[in-house]
Structure 1
């Protein structure tokens, strides 16, 4: 988060440590909340209803509460360490705990995690944005036009929107774009609630839409009863993958706040609001389609409510929200890269611009030319996200913290490490098993 020494300046990539002066004030509370929420949320909100269908209402809520609570607790430990040591950088905490290898390990994990996330988001934009634009046009309109070329659209929005926002040295300004992205997510949740009563149950079958044929088989009255808890092959793969969306705290906590209490409040508010939007979206999406909910929720609305203006606008809103998330998660990726290459040297505009262009160029090439980019980084993300959110904070606290081993926080730190390792191994194994099974 942004750290500054007065009300009119904000932190840049060059701010390595907290001084007494820089502890006085920071970016606005609202800006910090919106930035953190934007990092937490994203396109994963489209699959929450599918996760609830995979786990049941109670199972989903238990998983979401568990991951949210542990994520908040991991941030609590990191903030406690920052308060004790005066360090405000996630990478520098790794250096204090594990010397130079720890610092490099954290920076590499942040870089891989965020490059993967940016590549996945751009891949989604390349795939979905042309269809979203076409949905607003007349069905009679034919012919290939420039806005139906996903690669061309991706290059244009990268140059015209993402690059200008990403090249900014101050993260505080992105609070404005993050607030817009959050309101788009909130709009999505409201539309899901409203449309609950617009689609009948049991669902019609073999519905033809402008996106193709959408089929529902064996839909009956018994399918219109919500399941409280489901044990199926999709339980862990659906629940854990969506639960990992709360990885955003670890990705943004590399730049921690000057006030432990203030940042703890930012974290609590961000996680609580994200939890609420997640739960509402998942619950009403599931209660609309039940067991037949699609892994991408909007596909179901497209089938049964073709060319509905609310559905079309909410699809475009989600894509814009995803677009506005890319510059935000680029910030820690760039900082990690500069730290690996130059250490904590003073800020340099040539290095800043060059690193920004190289990272965005790499991400753009991956999104355009790698067809299975989301699967590749799904494997990487299953390990790096668990490490950043659970394993590293626990290990760092055990190495740096001044609490005796039997204390509550020490035991909690050990529990975080164990949970993170188990979660990462299970997620990784499920992804590999799914690949083998599908092949």
Structure 2
């Protein structure tokens, strides 16, 4: 190696001397060392640049893998904790019909009676207070859902209180509509039985049996088929029909009130 470098330096010195430059072999040898050093530095920089590029590529791949794993975990959590998917989500009209029907259904009877008993001023103040509490509660629920990454009420309860909170909420969500359905059956039995007795006066002697029959057929023929849906969005049509009936009854009551048949 040293002999080849010495020969290269001698040849380089001889070439420079022929061109009129006074350069010794030692100087040419030093120049060759400098040239080799520059080449080695250049190669070192290239290797370092390649290593940095490889490290950046590896970091990018790790970030992609981490993001994909996080997305998979979120999807698994949603499927396990929330039990919802894009196919079971309700559209805006469907959610509106179901939500309004859940409010108007019981509020048509309860709210007017409560305002009548409490008085206009106090009843209106209580109505505004309850509306504010409900709105603030829904805002808190949405914020909690964004924080814990859950998009359903049971999922939020499970994230906050564990499996016991999930089971407690499931029990409450079952008891609330179950008891509400019992009250609706009582109202339907009292109302439709009187309507049927008007059309069939002979049934008036067995009013209790008529009432039980109405409750049975309404429960089996209307309530049970609607309860078999696994997706709440399927109830949007039934909610729309219910709202249409409420609007019809509202106009009927207004017309009767204007005609003077009823007195407040």
TM-score (norm 2): 0.60
Residues 98, 239 of structure 2: 8 Å contact kept: yes
Distance 1:78 1:189 in 2: 33
CA RMSD of aligned residues (A): 3.0
2:195 aligned residue (122, 132, 140): 132
Q: CA deviation at 1:145?
A: 7.6
Q: 2:255 pairs with 194, 217, 236, which one?
A: 194
Partner of 1:168: 229
Aligned to 2:90: 27
1:107, CA displacement in angstroms? 1.9
Q: Distance in 2 between matches of 1:61 and 1:86?
A: 37
**Is 2:98 the counterpart of 1:38?**
no
2:152 to 89, 97, 110: 89
1:98 lines up with 2:161 in the alignment: yes
Q: CA deviation at 1:181?
A: 0.7
Distance in 2 separating the partners of 1:126 and 1:38 = 20
Query: Aligned-pair distance for 1:16?
Result: 4.1
2:137 to 74, 80, 95: 74
Q: Which residue is equivalent to 1:114?
A: 177
Residue 71 of structure 1, CA deviation: 0.9
- Give the gaps of 5 or more residues in structure 2: 1-78
In the TM superposition, what is the alpha-carbon distance from 1:89 to its structure 2 partner? 2.7
Q: CA deviation at 1:68?
A: 1.5
Residue 53 of structure 1: CA displacement?
2.3
Partner Cα separation in structure 2 for residue 163 and residue 25 of structure 1: 21
Flag structure 1 segments of 5+ consecutive residues without an equivalent. 1-13, 204-287, 290-439
Q: Distance in 1 between matches of 2:80 and 2:193?
A: 40
1:198-347 to 2 correspondences below 5 Å: 198-199=259-260, 288-289=263-264
Q: CA deviation at 1:177?
A: 0.4
1-side partners of 2:108 and 2:115: how far apart? 12
2:156, 2:183 → 1: CA distance?
Answer: 28
Match of 1:354 in 2: none
CA drift at 1:98? 2.0
1:174 to 1:81, Cα distance in 2 relative to 1, 3 A: same
- How far apart, in 2, do the equivalents of 1:151 and 1:192 lie? 28
**Equivalent residue, structure 1, for 2:82:** 17
1: distance between equivalents of 2:179 and 2:254? 31
Name the counterpart of 2:219. 158
Q: Point out the structure with the larger helix share.
A: 2
Whole-angstrom CA distance in 2 between matches of 1:146 and 1:199: 30
Superimposed CA distance per residue, residues 86-113 of structure 1 (whole angstroms, 9 cap, x where no aligned partner): 2123223222222233222222222222
Moved over 3 A (4+): 143-148
CA shift, 1:133, in A, is 2.7
Q: 1:15 deviation in Å?
A: 7.2
Checking the alignment, whether the CA contact within 8 Å between 2:190 and 2:211 is kept in structure 1 is yes
Matched, 1:63 2:126: yes
Q: Is the 8 A contact 2:185 2:215 kept in 1?
A: yes
Q: Which residue of 2 aligns with 1:297?
A: none
Q: TM-score, normalised by structure 1?
A: 0.38
CA distance in 2, matches of 1:192, 1:51: 18
Task: Give how far 1:188 is off.
Answer: 2.6
